[in-house]
Amino acid sequence: AQTVTQSQPEMSVQEAETVTLSCTYDTSESDYYLFWYKQPPSRQMILVIRQEAYKQQNATENRFSVNFQKAAKSFSLKISDSQLGDAAMYFCAYRSDSGGSNYKLTFGKGTLLTVNP
Amino acid sequence: GAGVSQSPSNKVTEKGKDVELRCDPISGHTALYWYRQSLGQGLEFLIYFQGNSAPDKSGLPSDRFSAERTGGSVSTLTIQRTQQEDSAVYLCASSLDPGRDYGYTFGSGTRLTVV
């Protein structure tokens, strides 16, 4: 079974600075997807960024980028120019590309990000 | 609808009572997932519905938990004889075609408190 580990329960960053959230995962599969989701106090999970395992190039979405190290099974999220609205719980998630998995997401326990003005 | 709707938003119930949580997915989304988010934990998969196929119930923690999806649309998660450890946020997500489309739209969840 796949597992996802987020080793930082809490992180803080100054507004306009850069912060990196860590995520490692364990799998024996070669084809899969990795996600970072943001959960604000509204509780709704919002997709931040997605990475296909077969792609070597790291995904980027505006101020958000990932460092995907497939061999090391590491998938960190970098937030540049942090804004107050970035404050939330961030979850790393894994999804198998195998239909037998029913494409369900396996989540880490989350990292609570605080942005200080 | 425009998004995934869950009701109620919050529910307080007495230990031993039964509760029903509702999820109304995005129209046309064939896949529907239920997850449980306990305090300090990530999201834990509970059950998956896809069209008219038999649901994947492998994540249900006990036989007190059940779910159904009527007409391929609205889903109801039922917890019988609630226990304090059932207190959590229950999130629902739907997807158009999870095998091809990697988007999952989540609802805002139901916070269940068992007292």
Please state, rounded to an integer, the average pLDDT across all residues of chain B.
93
Residue B97: the pLDDT is: 82
In this complex, the residue of B48, B89, B99 whose CB is nearest that of residue A104 is B48
Give how far A71 is from chain B: nearest CA, Å: 23
What pLDDT digit, counting tens, does each position of B18-30 carry? 999 999 999 989 9
Strand ranges (E), chain A: 3-5, 10-14, 19-21, 24-26, 32-39, 46-52, 60-61, 64-69, 74-79, 88-96, 105-107, 111-116
Between A103 and B80, the higher pLDDT residue:
B80
Q: Mind listing the pLDDT tens digit for each residue in B40-67?
A: 788 999 999 998 889 999 999 999 999 9
pLDDT for A3: 94
Q: Nearest chain A Cα to B101, which residue?
A: A103
User: Can you give the pLDDT at residue B67?
Assistant: 97
Return per-residue pLDDT of chain A as tens, 117 residues.
Answer: 789 999 999 999 999 999 999 999 999 998 899 999 999 998 999 999 999 999 989 999 999 999 999 999 999 999 999 999 999 999 999 998 876 778 899 999 999 999 999
Is residue B31 less than 8 Å (CB to CB) from chain A? yes
Q: Is the CB of residue B1 less than 8 Å away from at least one CB of chain A? A: no
CB atoms B102 and A50 under 8 Å: yes
Rounded CA-CA distance B102/A33 in Å is 9
Is B45 in the A-facing interface, judged by CB distances under 8 Å?
Answer: yes
Distance CA B90, CA B84 (A): 14
Structure tokens, A17: 């600075």
- Of the candidates A53, A65, A59, A76, the one whose C-alpha atom is nearest the C-alpha of residue A6 is A76
Q: Match 């938990």 to its residue by tokens.
A: B65
Q: Rounded to an integer, what distance in angstroms lies between the CA atom of residue B32 and that of residue A9?
A: 29
Q: Å from B99 to nearest chain A CA? A: 7
Angle at A104 between CA A78 and CA B64, to 5 degrees: 125
Residue B1 has pLDDT above 60, yes or no: no
**8 Å CB contact of B99 and A99:** yes
The answer to whether the CB of B39 falls within 8 A of the CB of B84 is no
Bridge partners of A114, per DSSP, are A12
Q: In this structure, are residues B78 and B20 in contact, taking their beta carbons and an 8 Å threshold?
A: yes
Query: Does position B101 have pLDDT exceeding 70, yes or no?
Result: no
First vs last Cα of chain B: how many Å apart? 33
Maximal C-alpha separation, chain A: 46
Which pLDDT belongs to residue A8?
97
